[in-house]
Every structure is written in structure tokens, then in C-alpha cells.
Chain A
Amino acid sequence: MRKIAILLLLGMFLAPAAWAKYTGIVLSTPFPDQTVQSGRTAVIPLTIHNFGVDPQAVTLKALSVAKGWTAEFQGDARDIGSVFVEPDGSRDVSLHLTPPKGVSAGQYAFRLAAAGNDHRAELPLTLHLAKTLPDWLSITASLPTLKGTATTQFSYDAKITNKSSRDILVNLSATAPQGFDVAFKPQYGSQEVTGIRVKAGEDKNITINVSPPGDAVAGAYDVRVQAAAGDTRAGLGLHMVVSGKPSLTLTTPSGVLSGEAQVGKTEEVKLVVRNTGSAPARNLSLSADSPSQWKVSFEPERIDLLPPNQEAKITADIVPAARSLAGDYMVTFDTNGGLSRASANYRVTVMTSTLWGVIGILIAATAILVVGFAVMRYGRR
């Protein structure tokens, strides 16, 4: 028993020593057997170690390649055939394995070799082609469908999850209908960002603000948000319903908001109701706030439907009360369509009748005629 124990102890001490004393060339990859996305070039990281042998160039070769595939070694973004490794040094290269078109899912085996002057290392590699890889990058929104008006800022809370074992920089981009503005912000920040760093195994909350153009027509819109980290992408579909809102303005065709009116006589005022909003205005009623004994009527009295960016012409008939004073009065025209209303202050200069002026002239003329008559009647020589 004691002998065995000693041997074991010896083994425990000796084994690392034996590994440490390994000499030669080693070709390695972290995951010799892995699943990759179908239809894409698989990039396999390789490391060539030199354990205690002379500095030398090591030739890299793909000994056997699955049918139709092409294999390329790349180091520092250039195609390479060999690497130079110093004693106890290592060199990282990558192997690009491009599958043929129409490759089917399944298992493909490769065999790689690294050959130095005296030493040689081989590495078997197995790729499993999968239609879809389990996602390690995802972006989700808690409330992906929002409703609002054309002037609302649609604010979505989204979560980016990084399930991989690396810290990644996620680039954010969006495709939105024309005129829509999309901005990404960290959850508790005010700066707009185009990318965000997510630590391994963690998630990050971001806010996506979408502002529709102010004249956006009512309807449903889709915004597609892409999060990309390296060659991995995740998408998020955001849905927004712009409900639209009528917005009315009331003015005259010329924009002049003043006019004259004769006491007791009808004065026509042309008015224009415009809908500058994004939704049709319905059941517009017209009213006027005028001095209480004035009569104001509208033709037409009501507008059933006024689509966006359309205008309707209205004629208002103002009749100042018979006892109105000459001078300026304020009449407020008002159009009310429930959701939206507009009003215009119209200044009416009341002119009094000229009848009394004529009568006054007649009286003055009579007085002068009296003088003339006196001269004719009582004139003496």
C-alpha cells in the first residue's frame, strides 16, 4: 500500500514535469468539434505552438477537406501558407472553411497538419452544419407595439442579451419608413448611441425612440431594429400605430381678419377652414361669439368631413345690431370638431347709416334757403 501511495505521489509530481518537458510543434484549436451556421464561411481559430524546438517556419496544410469545401489559412488578414514560430512561442491564425453551394446539414470532417523541419502535428476537425445555431445574441422589447399620434415620440424599452462567453460591442441600426427618426439611447442616459458594449452573459437595456414625421398619415408602421456583433445578428420588429389627429385652422382666404359692416345690413365674410392634421376632421360645427344682438349665420353651418390637407370655404353673414355704435367690435369665429378646434378673431368696423347725413345736409340747405328767401322777400332798394 505504501509503495502505491508513494508511486501516486511521485506520479503527481512527475506528470506536470513530463508535460512541461514536451518538445515539438503543436497545432491546436479551442473547439475541434463544433457546430457552425449553415451557408456561411466558418472561421476556425488555430494556434501553432513551438515547445522548445528550434525557431523554424511551419507549413500549414489541410490534409483532407470535406467534398466541395475550400480551406484557406489566414493570418493578419492575409492568405498564408506557413507561419514562423520561435521557441516557446505561438502564433494565432485562422482557418476559413467555405462550404459549397447547396451544402446540406450534417457532419463534415477535416484534417489539418502543421509541418516543421523535424516535427509535425496534426489536428482533426469536425464541423456540424446546423440550419440555425442557438442564438447567443438577442434583442427583445417588452412592449413592441405602441400607439400614438403623429407628434408622439414612440419610446420602446428593449433588452440586448449576450449569452456568449465574450464581451461584445453590439452595433445598432434600424430600417424605418421614410421620414421616421430612430434614436438609440442607453436606458439611463441621454446620449444617442449607435453601438453598446455588452459583457459576457449579461444583458443591457436600451431605449429606442421613434419619432414619426409630424404629417405622418394615420396607419400602422413597422420599424426593424438590427443588433449586430461581428457576424452575428439579431433583429427586433417594432410595430407602431399612428392614430392621427385632425388639426384645424380658421382664417380668411386673404388672411386679413378685419372688415367693415353697415349697421343693420348683412356683411359677407369669407372664411376658410383648413385641416393641417393627419386625420380627417368630422362633424365640424361653426359658431361665432359676437355682441349679443348681432346676427351671425354660416353657409354651410356644418362640415361633415374634412380630409387632411384639405380646406373648406364658408361664408359668414354678419348683421350688426341696429343700435350698434360706430367703430370696432370683435367677433370670434369658432369651428369645433370635437378632437380639434380653431378660432379666429375678426375685427368688424361698424359704419353707421349715411341717411342722417343726407337729412342733415337738407336741414342746413333749408337754413341757407331761409336766408335766401329773406333776401328775396325783404330786400329793399
Chain B
Amino acid sequence: MNREGSPWTGLGPVFGKELSDQLGSVRMRILELLVLIAAIGAVYVASQTMRATLAQSPIAFLQLFTTAERPLPSFVTFLGFFVPLMAVSLGFDAVNGELNRGTLSRVLAQPIYRDALLMGKFLAALATLALVLVGLWLVTTGFGIVVLGVPPGGEEVGRGLLFLLLTLFYAGVWLSLALLFSLLFRQPSTSAMVSLGVWIFFAVLWPIFAQYLAQAITGPAFFESSQIRQAELATMIARVSPSTLYAEAVQVILHPSVRSLGPVFYSQIERALIGAPLPLVESLSLVWPQVVALLSASCLLFALAYVVFQRREIRA
């Protein structure tokens, strides 16, 4: 059967309602407050460290995000931790919550298609995240201007915006996943636990598994060449995890001097100017696979959730 009518019908109202619900929810406010405090703390400590140790650096604003001072992790590490958490908390009960409350059939009784409902929920959650992230970025940048006393350069702003976009893609992956689980499981608590479990598995356990998996596949590595092959394989396996992809991408975007990910041959760094910043375009092209993978993963997961939702009997 072919569909009739536009999938966009009703998207606007759903998006608007969802957005106002998300922004007004106590859950989001608590998370936002938590993120804001953590981020300001990290950036403040970083700025103190930079003032004490660094001379004027051309990438001072990027260092503001990446400098870590014990015991606080850096701003970027904080975001890498909180963004999946926020995405999951925005998505884990998107559909099954409504189903349990019995509001889903009512909404669908309106001239709103299922497409629009799912798309609206997804986009509203993403917009919420984007609002939080942009706000956070503006606050930290403004803070940086006050503390460092210089405005950020064009390249720094560009890299900062790319970092934002990247974080949004990363959030999109976890949001799609949580949305999918909210469809697969009837109970919101189940979908929340499964989402968080998957996140912890990929963020914490998978990088460790990747090492052993690579060793198991290639066997013991005695020679340099097989060691390199093993290291490359481990990197490739680790990249299945969105957390690894995001960490790599952020590392390259926020550190202009990073020129390669994974093992590097001596012949490649011979006579290379170590520490010379890469042009923004080159940094982007270096992490382009990661960016594309994150974007594609969120698209495909959403497509999967969409298919599951469309084939589900929801009136029961």
C-alpha cells in the first residue's frame, strides 16, 4: 500500500507542544541546572589553570573547553557524559509513556499522522538539546571573554560551532536509540534502563572489549607489523561505539594540532611541524568519517524506530 497525504501534516503542533513540555518539565530543569553548574565549574577551573600556566595562546578559547584540572574533568568530558544522559532522559518514555497514559490514541484521533508525531517528538527533543547546548556554549564563551580578556577569533568560533553541531549529532544517536527503546518496551522504566545500559556498555566497556577482541582476532602479535595491524583493528572495533567516535571528533576539532587518529608511522611525521595548527577544513576532513557516522547512525536508528512505530498496533 502506498501512503497518501503529506507526512508533515501536524508536525508543527506536535513539535511546539513537545518542546514546551520538555522545556517546562522538572526533569529537564534539574538536568540543565546540573549541566550548567558542572560546565561553569569546569570552565572556571580551566581558566584559572590557563591564567596561571599559559601565555597568550591563539586557541585560548578552545583550551578553555579542553583543559582539565584535577579533580574536575574538562568541559568536554562533562558534556560527553551529560549529553547522552540528557538525550536518554528526553526520549526513553516518548511513546510508551503516552501509551501507558492512554493519550496516544487521543492524539492520533486528531488529524495528526503517526509520522508527524514521531518526527515531532524527535525534533522537539533535539531542539531542546540544541537550546541547552547553545546556551551553555554562549555562557562559557562569555565567561571566557571576561576571564581571558580577549574575544575569540574566527577560527575558534568556527571550531566551537562545529563542536556544537557534533555534540548535537551525538545526542541525536542516543535520542533515536531511546526513542526506539520506548517503542520496543512497554514500560518506561525498562526502556530507560536498557538505554542507559547500552550507553554504559558503549561508553565504558566497549573500548576495553575492543582491545581484547582485536587480540582474539589477530592472535598474539610478535612483530611490529602485526602489532600495528592489531592496534588498527582495535581502533576500528572501538569506533563502533558512538562515544569513541564523538571523543575522537571532539579531540580533533578542539585541538587544531592533532593531525591523525590512530597509529602513525615515523615516515609520516618525519620533518612534520609538530604542534602547527591544522586548517579548520583539514581538521574537519580528518574527522569527516566520524561526523558522517554519527549523523548516519542517528538517521538510521530513527528510521528503524519509525518503521517499528508504523507497524505497531497502538489502539489496544
Contacts and interface: CB of A to CB of B under 8 A. Distances in A.
Contacts of A380: 3, 113-114, 310
A328 B272 contact: yes
Nearest to B7: A375
9 contacts: A331-B271, A360-B292, A364-B299, A367-B296, A371-B299, A375-B115, A380-B310, A381-B3, A381-B4
Interface of chain A: mostly helix, strand, loop or mixed: mixed
Given A328-B272, A328-B273, A379-B115, A293 B267 contact: yes
A363 interface: yes
Interface of A: 289-293, 321, 323-331, 347, 349, 351-352, 354, 356-357, 360-361, 363-364, 366-368, 370-371, 373-376, 378-381
Nearest to A354: B285
Given A326-B259, A352-B285, A380-B310, 10 more contacts: A291-B272, A324-B268, A327-B276, A330-B273, A347-B273, A356-B285, A363-B292, A368-B299, A378-B307, A378-B311
A376 B311 CA distance: 13
Contact of A291 (B114, B267, B278): B267
Q: Which of A289, A328, A351 has the most CB of B within 10 A?
A: A328
A190 to B, nearest CB: 46
Nearest to A352: B285
A327 B268 contact: no
Given A347-B273, A360-B289, A381-B113, A370 B3 contact: no
B270 A357 contact: no
Given A347-B273, A360-B291, A326 B114 contact: no
Interface of B: 2-5, 7, 113-115, 259-260, 264-265, 267-273, 276, 278-279, 281-282, 285-286, 288-289, 291-292, 295-297, 299-300, 302-303, 306-307, 310-311
B271 A367 contact: no
Contact of A374 (B4, B296, B307): B307
Given A291-B271, A325-B272, A328-B272, A376 B3 contact: yes
Nearest to A294: B271
A351 B281 CA distance: 9
A263 to B, nearest CB: 11
A24 B291 CA distance: 129
Contact of B310 (A293, A351, A378): A378
Contacts of A291: 267-268, 270-272
